[in-house]
Amino acid sequence: MAELSNQLITYVTFAYMAAAVLYLIAAVSGARRIALVGSGLTWLILAVHTTAIILRWVGSYEMGVGHAPFSNLFESLVFFGWTLVLIYLILELRTRMYVVGAYALPLVFATMLYALAQDASIRPLMPALKSNWLIAHVIACFLGYAGFGISAALSLLYLLTGQGRQPSSPRANALDNFIYQTVAIGFIMLTAGIITGAVWANSAWGTYWSWDPKETWSLITWFVYAAMLHSRYMRGWQGTRLAVFSLAGFVCVLFTYFGVNLLLSGLHSYAS
Amino acid sequence: MKDTQPGRSALELIWSFFASVKLSFFLFLTLAVASIFGTLIPQREHLHVYTKAYGETGARIIQALSLDDMYHSYWFLLLLTLLAVNLVICSLNRLPLALKVIRKDPAAEAKRVRKAWRSFTVDGGVQDNQDRLARELGRVVGKVHRAEVDGGVNLFAQRGAWSRLGVYLVHASVLIIFIGAIVGNLWGFDGRVFITEGQTVDHILIQRGKKLPLGFGVRLDKFTITYYKGSRMPSEYISDLVFINHGKEVKKWRLKVNHPVDFKGIDFYQSSYDQQLKSVKVLLTRKGQEPQEVQLYFQRWSKLPGGGEAGVQDFRPQVDMGGMYRGAVARILYRSPGKQPVALTAFEPGARMASRGEVTFQLKGWDMVSRTGLSVKYDPGVWFVWIGCILMTLGFLVTFYTSHRKVWLRLTPAGKGRTRVEIAGSANRNRVGLQRAMERLEQSIRNQKGKAE
Ligand code: HEM
């Protein structure tokens, strides 16, 4: 079952590429029908993607090392891709702004492609990772990252289509509003992620907060988005600046997700 | 953010400084940037670690700025304190205003004539229409208030006024979490204890090796590691503990990672384990006598046949001294009656460095015993933190997903037996949601008329 799951994930990845191409063509040509096909395809892939994740979950129990499929980089990337698509499709349902897909789907494809480059084997979990709080923690964090990711996609759209030149046009206003709303989703979920992480740490080690680099970087990200939410109440921080802020926030997200593991452990290794 | 006008007192200036969102914006970004340093520079290391990595000057700068324990440094705590002060003053500043808006008399609101968002006419006079429109407004928004203004009828309804308090819930929750952290730091403790199988402990070690009596005993009956099937990967670490109060066994517990146990408000966590020496079997030889096998215990005296006492002070299961010796080594303390203890080394048979003296020991075997390492915590502040977290989450849902909406319908005679309907509205957030609601209202007002015709 785990093998079938891996197979499906490969198909899913390239199907997302196809969807991304459809959305891009639609965005360039303005053909709504193509966008609708892309959208239908994306819903379909999401279903297969969901199936693949469930199969992997079941497969791990068959192997006697059962655990939720959120435990290593491969699994987390596959799940991150899934949350990105989910948040994007919800946004699309509510706004019918298909052009966002031309920015969101390439992000999804890149995530999944990166996942394919990782070790996909199912490994048993070390005891500290066996916790339901950890499952809640991962789900919340990745929904948060996805909210920020889609917000960054919207921000790119805002900047690349030059909305800043007419910041009070209906389209710019709508985009500004969506950037803010997706950040709000991200912020709530990141907060929930930090809280569930704290509960888990407290049950595993008895400290809800220990300033380790990963924790600290999620807090840094949280501070940046808190600043962004409050910037609404200062004059002149809407529009272009909000979009740039959202992109900067997403850079923090990426660093929290990848950078901490790749770079900081290296920096710290000489100390241990 | 008001302009600073001449004539304002210093106190007012300070107050408005601390009430400003600009300050919190600045503090959020400063905290973010500052926090980065603590993730780049290793924390709480010895000086030589910093000297090695950053040189003498670098290490001195790091120490001067407390970057080696940044998150507990005074300047970092100062930033957090400023944020808290900012939060309190800003909220105190705005809360009265928010309460005023919430409590605003709806009857007075109904009298206001607002700029119309949309305006159209429907069949029938004002009197014929007003009940039906009030019903529609009530359905879409909420309780309707009427007022007659300038020859027309105003209908007003609002919803979610209390949602303006959501932000204050969020802000209060931050303070509650801060309080929890402070309480935990002031009145809590954080310690560790090692217990070997069979041993009972009644105290733990806290910071800097200080001992803290628990007021009860904890005994380890057995320590177990289970493994995943067909693998060397541990699946569980389990300590079978017994809590002993006034000599009575009060509570038995199988302690696992991620499942702490609470006894009298103190939490025990499975955190590590190791193997410790329990006893060694040695061949005791006294000068001019036959060797005898005896058992000696780790860090405990035992009587020896023929007088004197001995115990194991230290033990290494594997020592490599090049060509001289390779094997286990025990350091044994021996004392004969009335004399100072002397330290002797025991090697395994075949060692080329025989020990000489009045008594000698040769190592024949040893017994290891498991030792569990527990973290021991007492944190009276943790409930504040959890309550703060719950309130923060609720506060977010209220602030982001509810809003204070007001909708007005103004009905005026339009001549020829028709009525002009003007829709106006306002919302403190989610204007898109407000628009949708007003569109729905417009639809239902026009549609029903259409059906009636
Ligand atoms: C860690 C601390 C803080 C958190 C988590 C927090 C959170 C929030 C959130 C979620 C909102 C709603 C944002 C929105 O409407 O988009 C908000 C609004 C606000 N915050 Fe904060 N905040 C914090 C600290 C502060 C501080 C220090 C100030 C001090 C000036 C402040 C002032 C405000 C103001 C004035 C609003 C707008 C309130 C309104 O709608 O009337 N916040 N805050």
Is there a contact between A207 and B190 if contact means CB atoms under 8 Å apart?
A: yes
Residues A52 and A144 in one domain: no
What would you report as the CA-atom Rg of chain A, rounded to the nearest whole angstrom?
Answer: 19
CB B242 within 8 A of CB B219: yes
DSSP string, B275-292: EEEEEEEEEEEETTS--E
B185 close to A (CB below 8 A) = no
What is residue B417's predicted lDDT score, i.e. its pLDDT? Answer: 86
Please state, in angstroms and rounded to a whole number, the distance separating the CA atoms of residues B393 and B388.
9
pLDDT in tens, B269-300: 998 888 888 899 999 988 888 889 999 999 88
CB B173 within 8 A of CB B389: yes
A230 close to B (CB below 8 A) = yes
Within 13 Å and on the Cβ side, how many CA atoms surround B50? Answer: 21
Question: Taking 50 as the threshold, does the pLDDT of residue A47 lie above it?
Answer: yes
CB B346 within 8 A of CB B355: yes
A121, A138, A158: which is the final residue of a domain?
Answer: A121
Give the dihedral sign, CA A203/A205/A207/A211: negative
What is residue B71's predicted lDDT score, i.e. its pLDDT? Answer: 92
CATH number reported for the structural domain that contains residue A73 in this entry: 1.20.120
Please state, in angstroms and rounded to a whole number, the distance separating the CA atoms of residues B324 and B314.
20
- For residues A177 and A194, which has the higher predicted lDDT (pLDDT)? A194
Q: Is B344 in the pocket of ligand 1 (CB under 6 A)?
A: no
Please state the ipTM of this predicted complex.
0.92
Residues A136 and A244 in one domain: yes
Place A270 in a pLDDT band, splitting at 50, 70 and 90.
Answer: very low
CB A245 within 8 A of CB B54: no
Question: Taking 80 as the threshold, does the pLDDT of residue A57 lie above it?
Answer: yes
Is there a contact between A127 and B257 if contact means CB atoms under 8 Å apart?
A: yes
Residues A106 and A182 in one domain: no
Question: Whole-number mean pLDDT of chain B?
Answer: 89
**Does the model's pTM come out above 0.80?**
yes
Question: Taking 60 as the threshold, does the pLDDT of residue A271 lie above it?
Answer: no
Residues A93 and A157 in one domain: no
Secondary structure letter of residue B233 according to DSSP:
S
Q: How many residues does chain A have?
A: 272
Q: Which residues contact A195 (CB under 8 A, 6 or more apart)?
A: B389, B392, B393
List chain B pLDDT tens, one digit each, 453 residues.
445 556 678 889 999 999 999 999 999 999 999 999 998 888 888 888 888 888 899 899 998 898 888 999 999 999 999 999 999 999 999 999 999 999 999 999 999 999 999 999 998 888 888 899 999 999 999 999 999 988 899 999 999 999 999 999 999 999 999 999 999 999 999 899 999 888 899 999 988 778 999 999 999 999 999 888 877 888 889 999 999 999 899 999 999 988 899 999 899 999 888 888 889 999 998 888 888 999 999 988 999 988 889 999 999 888 888 777 888 999 999 998 888 888 988 988 877 666 667 788 999 999 888 889 999 999 999 999 999 999 999 999 999 999 999 999 999 998 888 999 999 999 988 888 899 999 999 998 887 644 443
Residues A93 and A169 in one domain: no
Residues A150 and A207 in one domain: yes
Question: b/e string for A189-220 if b means 16 or more Cβ within 10 A?
Answer: bbbbbbbbbbbbbbbbbbbbbebebebbbbbb
Residues A115 and A138 in one domain: no
CB B403 within 8 A of CB B429: yes
pLDDT in tens, A137-161: 999 999 999 999 999 999 999 999 9
A100, A121, A142: which is the final residue of a domain?
Answer: A121
Is there a contact between B256 and A216 if contact means CB atoms under 8 Å apart?
A: no
> How many CB pairs lie under 8 A apart between chains A and B?
116
Closest residue in chain A to residue B45, using alpha carbons only: A271
What is residue B306's predicted lDDT score, i.e. its pLDDT? Answer: 83
Burial of residue B290, with CB atoms counted within 10 A of its CB: 0-12 exposed, 13-18 middle, 19 or more buried: exposed
For ligand 1, what atom is nearest to the CA of residue B83?
Answer: 27
Q: Which of B86, B171, B176, B94 is nearest to B396 (CA)?
A: B171
CA angle centred on B247, ends B246 and B253, rounded to 5° = 95
CB B414 within 8 A of CB B390: no
Please state, in angstroms and rounded to a whole number, the distance separating the CA atoms of residues B150 and B290.
124
Question: Helices in B105-165 by DSSP H: which ranges?
Answer: 106-110, 126-140
Q: Taking CB atoms and an 8 Å cutoff, what residues of chain A touch B431?
A: 177
Number of domains in chain A: 2
Place A272 in a pLDDT band, splitting at 50, 70 and 90.
Answer: very low
Please state, in angstroms and rounded to a whole number, the distance separating the CA atoms of residues A177 and A183.
10
Q: List, in sequence order, every residue forming a beta bridge with B409; answer none if it has no partner.
A: B155, B423
A121, A139, A167: which is the final residue of a domain?
Answer: A121
Is there a contact between B256 and A127 if contact means CB atoms under 8 Å apart?
A: yes
Please state, in angstroms and rounded to a whole number, the distance separating the CA atoms of residues B20 and B1.
6
Q: What share of chain A is helix, strand, coil (3-state, %, to 5)?
A: 80, 0, 20
User: Residue B387's Cα: distance from chain center in Å?
Assistant: 11
Lowest mean pLDDT among A175-184, A213-222, B299-308: B299-308
Residues A111 and A209 in one domain: no
Q: Which of A176, A194, A95 is nearest to A140 (CA)?
A: A194
Range of the domain at A62: 1-121
Burial of residue A29, with CB atoms counted within 10 A of its CB: 0-12 exposed, 13-18 middle, 19 or more buried: exposed
What is residue A268's predicted lDDT score, i.e. its pLDDT? Answer: 41
Q: Which residues contact B49 (CB under 8 A, 6 or more apart)?
A: A271, B42
CB B143 within 8 A of CB B183: no
Give the dihedral sign, CA B205/B207/B208/B210: negative
Contacts with A, B 159-178, CB within 8 Å: none
Q: Which residues contact B432 (CB under 8 A, 6 or more apart)?
A: A174, A177
Please state, in angstroms and rounded to a whole number, the distance separating the CA atoms of residues A184 and B401.
10
Residues A151 and A252 in one domain: yes
Residues A65 and A198 in one domain: no
Please state, in angstroms and rounded to a whole number, the distance separating the CA atoms of residues A182 and A90.
10
Contacts with B, A 75-94, CB within 8 Å: none
The token pair at B442 is: 């417009």
Within 13 Å and on the Cβ side, how many CA atoms surround A110? Answer: 7
Nearest Cβ partner for B28 among A130, A223, A270: A223
Q: Which residues contact A132 (CB under 8 A, 6 or more apart)?
A: none
Question: Whole-number mean pLDDT of chain A?
Answer: 90
A66 close to B (CB below 8 A) = no
Q: Is B399 in the pocket of ligand 1 (CB under 6 A)?
A: yes
pLDDT in tens, A70-128: 888 899 999 999 999 999 999 999 889 999 999 999 999 999 999 999 988 888 877 77
What is residue B438's predicted lDDT score, i.e. its pLDDT? Answer: 94
Q: Taking CB atoms and an 8 Å cutoff, what residues of chain A touch B54?
A: none
Residues A15 and A134 in one domain: no
CB B412 within 8 A of CB B127: no
Helix axes A170-205, B382-401, angle to 10 degrees: 160
Q: How far does residue B149's CA lie from ligand 1's centre (Å)?
A: 38
What is residue B34's predicted lDDT score, i.e. its pLDDT? Answer: 94
Q: What share of chain B is helix, strand, coil (3-state, %, to 5)?
A: 40, 40, 20
Output phi, psi for A231, to 5 deg. -65, -20
CB B35 within 8 A of CB A220: yes
Instruction: Tell the residue number behind the tokens 């090695």, with chain if given.
Output: B52
Within 13 Å and on the Cβ side, how many CA atoms surround A55? Answer: 16
- Say what percent of chain A tops pLDDT 90: 67
Nearest Cβ partner for A268 among B31, B42, B389: B42
The token pair at B74 is: 């005074």
Give the dihedral sign, CA A191/B382/B373/B255: negative
CB A239 within 8 A of CB A169: no
Helix axes A170-205, A240-254, angle to 10 degrees: 30
A206 close to B (CB below 8 A) = yes
Nearest Cβ partner for B269 among A174, A188, A205: A205
What would you report as the CA-atom Rg of chain B, rounded to the nearest whole angstrom?
Answer: 39
Pocket test for ligand 1, best of B164, B167, B394 (most atoms within 8 A of CB): B167
User: Which residue CA neighbors atom 9 of ligand 1 most closely?
Assistant: B167
Nearest Cβ partner for A264 among B25, B39, B397: B39
Question: Taking 60 as the threshold, does the pLDDT of residue A60 lie above it?
Answer: yes
Residues A97 and A164 in one domain: no
Burial of residue B190, with CB atoms counted within 10 A of its CB: 0-12 exposed, 13-18 middle, 19 or more buried: middle
The token pair at B95 is: 């809360």
